[in-house]
Every structure is written in C-alpha cells, then in structure tokens.
C-alpha cells in the first residue's frame, strides 16, 4: 500500500534523424509530454503523451492542463495497492472525456511506479515472458530520395506510408523490387484513399507480384461500411487504426465486418488496461492484433513493447517510432537486428534514463 503525493509534467522534445511523413502529417521532432507520478515513499513512475493534432486532437499545452487538473485530481491522495493496477484507467476515464494520450501516460506512470516498487519490468508485471519483439520499419510517404526507401539493416518488414501521391502504387512495387524477396510489405494510407483507389492499387500490386501482408486504414475513420466493402472485394487483410480508439469502436467495427486486424495504440485507447480490453475482444472475434504507437520517444515505446509482449508476443508489431530519434550508432538502442528488446530493469527505468536529457523543466502539482 502506498499513497500518491505528486503529479508532474515535463516537455519531451527530441529531433528525428529522418523526417517522418504520412498522409496526415509531416514532423521532424518527437513532441510529447512526460508525466511523472510520485508516491509517499519517493518512488516515481513515468509515462509519455505525444502531441498528435490529427489523430487524438491532443496538444502539449492541452495534455499538461489535463494532467495537472482532472487527472491529478483523480490520483492525488489516493491509497494504492498492487492489485488496483487494473482500476487506475477507470479512475482516470471517470475524470475527463477524450484526452486519451494524457490518460494513457498518467496510467502508465502509475503502473511504472508499481513495477518499480515490485522491482520488476512493466512487461513482467503484466504477465509477459517475451524479451524481444518483431518490429516493422516505416517508409515515410513521398520520399524523394530512393535510397531512403530501403529498409535499415536488420528490418525485414516495411510499412509503407501512402496516400499523398498518385505514383504511390508504382512506388510500392519499386520498394519491393529494391528490398528483395525476403521483405514483407505492409501499407498504411492513413485514411487518404477511397474504395475504388484501394481496389485498383491492390490489383496493380497483385498483377506485379507484390505480396502485401495487410492494408491499414485506407479509408476515413468513420467509413466502416467502406472498409467492409473493401474486405469483400480484395484478398489483402484490412487493418483498422484511426477507426478504433475504444473497445466500443471495435464492437462497432466487428458488427460492420469492417476489419481483419486492429492496430492498438496506448495514446488512442487511454492506457494499458484499456488496450488489454480491446485485445481481448479482438481475439474473441478472431481478429489479428498489432500494437503500434504515435511518433514517441523510447519511453512511450517501452510501454507499447510491454503491451505487445502480453497481447501478441509472436507478431511483428509497429514499434519503430523511437528508432527515428535514436542515433543509428547508439549501442544502447533497444532496436537490435530489426527487433525491439525489452529492458529487464525495474518498470520503465531504462527508457527514462535514456530520454532524461530531452526533458524540459518539471511542473509539479502536489496533494
């Protein structure tokens, strides 16, 4: 049993070594808010909430206000036992609507705190035994330099961002040819296409002998009927991302027969235990599950990796976001041979040590 006495935030800003471009946005920095929750014994846990205007609608100032007002109000002074870990996300969801990234970061900070008290990794406290995970690497949309369209050494699955350029269909064929036969291709249109465009693209790839593992969110988030129509017309599995924030969104998608797989992201659903609920429903409906993330640092990715290790340890997840802000020669990187390695240290402590230099000053709210 312990008591939460302090909630704090700091801006977490890191430059990318390569600009990240999708049909929704272009960015050359990680722009996040780190959340720190401290108990009466002085043990602290950490989480990360990314600024993602075009998906969650969250901004750094909005995340900060949310954490310091309603979320701090829901936590400060609380007596906390280990077996309440699964309840924390409900306390936070009861304090504020939406703000899923702020809630996720705050829940994860509490889970990190509890894991550190238990001297176990976050993944271990969730029951995971996997120590590393398969990971794809994103190839950004609209890359002008063809050499930037090759996978970095070790990676074998490319997630190609499309949707900005009519030449995308040919570009995917070129990427497959350049990358060699062992490379697996996933496509993510980030809502930019319509049914006809998607069907034509898939037919062109199949005619060219390009094997596409899955196509992610080709249509706008609200268009479940369109995704269902696509599933009837193409043989490539359809994965929903922006359409599914909550377990209720997934229920609707299942009812509409709109998905073969779902991409679960902590910043969309509000935290680890909300994500586990989504994964449980997906499995019951025989949908595939992949864990992804927003553009985040190693802190957010360490939490996403812990979730991946619980829900689908054998899957190749979408955990490459932090790769974009880590020097390729950094020997402490969690990315090794195209896999994400989970640190066995307590909680998320290893990731926090590695991003501390990217944090601004802490703003503190106490009980």
Residues 88-127 within binding reach of Mg ion (CB under 5 A): none
265 assigned to active site: yes
CB 217 within 8 A of CB 167: no
Least Å distance, CB 28 to Mg ion, is 19
Stretch that binds Mg ion, among 55-63, 73-81, 108-116, 209-217 (CB under 5 A): 209-217
The pair of structure tokens assigned to 58 is 């969250």
The pair of structure tokens assigned to 225 is 């009927």
CB 186 within 8 A of CB 157: yes
The pair of structure tokens assigned to 239 is 């994965």
Question: With DSSP H G I counted as helix, E B as strand and the rest as coil, what are the percentages for the chain, rounded to 5?
Answer: 40, 25, 35
How far is residue 238's CA from residue 230's CA, in Å, rounded to a whole number? 8
> Could you say which of 159, 265, 268, 284 is catalytic?
265
Nearer to Mg ion, 35 or 244 (CB): 244
Residues 239-278 within binding reach of Mg ion (CB under 5 A): 241
Polymer length of the chain: 367
161 assigned to active site: yes
Quote the strand ranges of the chain, DSSP E: 2-21, 26-39, 44-50, 79-80, 132-135, 137-139, 157-161, 184-188, 212-216, 238-240, 261-265, 288-292, 316-317, 335-336, 339-341, 363-366
CA 297 distance to own-chain centroid: 11
> Could you say which of 159, 161, 268, 284 is catalytic?
161
Q: Which residues pair with 15 in a beta bridge?
A: 29
How far is residue 159's CA from residue 178's CA, in Å, rounded to a whole number? 15
Q: Provide Rg for the chain, Cα atoms.
A: 20
Nearer to Mg ion, 128 or 301 (CB): 301
Least Å distance, CB 32 to Mg ion, is 18
Residues 6+ apart with CB under 8 A from 33: 9, 10, 11, 12, 48, 49, 51, 60, 63, 64, 67, 102, 105
Residues 177-196 within binding reach of Mg ion (CB under 5 A): 188
Least Å distance, CB 54 to Mg ion, is 11
How far is residue 327's CA from residue 309's CA, in Å, rounded to a whole number? 25
Least Å distance, CB 71 to Mg ion, is 26
Nearer to Mg ion, 68 or 161 (CB): 161
Least Å distance, CB 164 to Mg ion, is 14
The pair of structure tokens assigned to 241 is 């991302």
* Position with the least CB separation from Mg ion: 241
DSSP type of residue 239: E
Least Å distance, CB 321 to Mg ion, is 11
Nearer to Mg ion, 58 or 188 (CB): 188
Nearer to Mg ion, 125 or 316 (CB): 316
Binding mask 26-65 for Mg ion (x = CB under 5 A): ----------------------------------------
Stretch that binds Mg ion, among 137-145, 203-211, 214-222, 319-327 (CB under 5 A): 214-222
User: For Mg ion, how many residues bind (rule: CB under 5 A)?
Assistant: 3
Query: Does 136 help bind Mg ion (rule: CB under 5 A)?
Result: no
Nearer to Mg ion, 84 or 246 (CB): 246
Report which of 257, 192, 197 is spatially closest to residue 227, judged by C-alpha positions: 257
Least Å distance, CB 188 to Mg ion, is 5
Nearer to Mg ion, 128 or 307 (CB): 307
Neighbours of 356 (CB within 10 A): 13
Residues noted as catalytic: 161, 265
Q: Which residues bind Mg ion (CB under 5 A)?
A: 188, 216, 241
């Amino acid at each position: 049993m312990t008591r939460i006495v302090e909630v704090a935030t700091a801006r977490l800003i890191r430059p990318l070594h390569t600009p990240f471009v999708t049909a929704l946005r272009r960015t050359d920095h990680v722009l996040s808010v780190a959340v720190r929750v401290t108990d009466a014994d002085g043990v602290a846990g950490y989480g990360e909430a990314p600024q993602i205007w075009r998906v969650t609608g969250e901004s750094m100032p909005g995340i900060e206000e949310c954490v310091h007002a309603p979320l701090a109000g829901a936590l400060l002074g609380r007596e906390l036992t280990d077996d309440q870990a699964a309840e924390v996300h409900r306390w936070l969801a009861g304090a504020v609507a939406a703000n899923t990234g702020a809630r996720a970061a705050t829940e994860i900070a509490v889970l990190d705190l509890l894991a550190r008290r238990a001297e176990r990794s976050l993944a271990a406290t969730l029951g995971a035994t996997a120590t590393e995970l398969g990971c794809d690497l994103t190839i950004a949309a609209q890359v002008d330099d063809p050499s930037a369209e090759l996978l970095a050494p070790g990676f074998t699955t490319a997630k190609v961002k499309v949707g900005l350029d009519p030449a995308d269909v040919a570009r995917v064929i070129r990427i497959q040819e350049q990358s060699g036969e062992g490379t697996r291709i996933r496509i993510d249109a980030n809502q930019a296409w319509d049914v006809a465009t998607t069907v034509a693209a898939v037919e062109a790839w199949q005619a060219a002998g390009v094997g596409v593992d899955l196509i992610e969110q080709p249509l706008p988030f609200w268009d479940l009927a369109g995704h269902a129509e696509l599933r009837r017309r193409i043989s490539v599995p359809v994965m929903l991302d922006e359409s599914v924030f909550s377990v209720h969104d997934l229920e609707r998608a299942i009812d509409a027969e709109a998905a073969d797989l779902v991409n679960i992201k902590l910043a969309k659903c509000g935290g680890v235990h909300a994500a586990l609920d989504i994964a449980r429903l997906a499995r019951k409906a025989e949908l595939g599950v992949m864990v992804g993330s927003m553009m985040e640092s190693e802190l957010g990715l360490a939490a996403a990796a812990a979730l991946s290790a619980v829900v689908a340890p054998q899957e190749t997840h979408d955990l490459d976001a932090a790769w974009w802000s880590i020097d390729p020669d950094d020997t402490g990187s969690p990315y090794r041979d195209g896999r994400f390695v989970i640190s066995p240290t307590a909680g998320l402590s290893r990731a926090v040590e590695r991003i501390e230099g990217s944090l601004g000053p802490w703003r503190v709210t106490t009980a």
